[in-house]
Structure 1
Amino acid sequence: MLLNIKELAAKEHAVPITGQVDLSSTLNGRKDVLTFGPLQLNLRASHVGGVVEVDGTMDLELEQSCSRCLGPAKQSLHIPFRELFTQQPDTIDGDESEDMHLVTEDKVDLLPYVVENVLVELPYVPLCKSDCPGLCPTCGHDRNEGECGCKEDNIDPRLAGLADFFKQ
């Protein structure tokens, strides 16, 4: 996914960048991702005042393990994307200086920036549903399938002596 800065500067309008990216080399082997589809790109690149702005959205369908019940958790990620590039160091100033990438070549490979944005947006604690009850801490039964019948006495052992005090 190379973006030619000189060609983009010659154009008066934004250039669309669409298509699919295969993330197999990035996501294969990760224990937190079970399955995934291709990454759908819907980006546009524009050149204004010596700065190239690439913005838009990326969509990814993936399946992870639920962090509570270990079942499959399907995710639809809608990832915003915005990166700024320049070849002129004097344009880097102000509030956007931290977001600006200084490039020395005429072509910029967007793939590392796309992959970085995807990895940052992966859910840290994926859930199969927002109210997933998880696994029973005693027997390991999946509480999504029903109650297991285990007695839950959540008494802090440091305060267990107080329970005897109230029995009297």
Structure 2
Amino acid sequence: MLLDISRVLKTEGERLGFRYELDLSGCEAAIGEYPFTEPVEVSGSVENRASTVRLSMSIRGVCHTRCDRCLRELSEPLDLTYENYVVTQLNEEDNDTLLLIENNTVDLDDLTVTHIILNLPMKHLCREDCKGLCPTCGKDLNDGPCACDHRSIDPRLAVLKELLKEE
């Protein structure tokens, strides 16, 4: 959604609110498919106070994915906030904490997707102490132990084990 904020940029005290739903179900990115089967709700405002234009927005949705250890399906709520100052041109002393816009429009979809990607956890877990799957048989270790023998010997030390057998 492109939001035209030209009136807000020109008039001190002006405020423009927005609310819409963004469907990310068919999108893909470098991180793979977005795990959102339901639209994400985006709401916020752009406000001009004392000749400073500020964008505030909140992003709410539910991330449907799988646990990275045991592969169980899980749903994680997403509740993010984003605030930034909007400028139409950067000065030399300005840094990249300001939101530079062109043609007096803000691309809310791009901001939303970027903010979601930056805030999604690197690893999705069904619970902090998830034990995952057995690497040998694939049993979910959260349901109980498996019968596999997990005693592995470092091949560099296998010779020492042979010495113990000889005694």
TM-score (norm 2): 0.79
Range 39-48 or range 121-130, more displaced = 39-48
In the superposition, relative to structure 1, how do residues 144 and 70 fare at CA in structure 2: closer, same or farther (>3 Å)? same
Alignment-derived partner of residue 133 in structure 2: 135
1:52-71 equivalent positions in 2, closer than 5 A: 52-71=53-72
Percent of aligned pairs sharing the same letter: 28
- C-alpha distance in 1, partners of 2:54/2:65? 32
Alignment-derived partner of residue 74 in structure 2: 73
Alignment-derived partner of residue 93 in structure 2: 93
- C-alpha distance in 2, partners of 1:51/1:125? 38
- Does 2:122 match 1:124? yes
Contact persistence 1:89–1:102 (CA under 8 A): yes
Alignment-derived partner of residue 17 in structure 1: 18
In the superposition, relative to structure 1, how do residues 27 and 39 fare at CA in structure 2: closer, same or farther (>3 Å)? farther
Q: Which runs of 5+ in 2 are unaligned?
A: none
- C-alpha distance in 2, partners of 1:71/1:82? 34
Aligned positions, number: 164
- C-alpha distance in 2, partners of 1:134/1:147? 11
Q: Which runs of 5+ in 1 are unaligned?
A: none
Across the aligned residues of Structure 1 and Structure 2, the Cα RMSD in angstroms comes to 2.7
- How far apart are residue 22 of structure 1 and its match? 1.4
Alignment-derived partner of residue 106 in structure 1: 104
1:40-62: CA deviation from partner (whole Å, max 9, x where unpaired): 22322122455432123211202
In the superposition, relative to structure 1, how do residues 149 and 128 fare at CA in structure 2: closer, same or farther (>3 Å)? same
SS of 1:61 mapped into structure 2: strand
- C-alpha distance in 1, partners of 2:113/2:64? 17
SS of 2:137 mapped into structure 1: coil
Q: More helix per residue: 1 or 2?
A: 1
- C-alpha distance in 2, partners of 1:2/1:46? 16
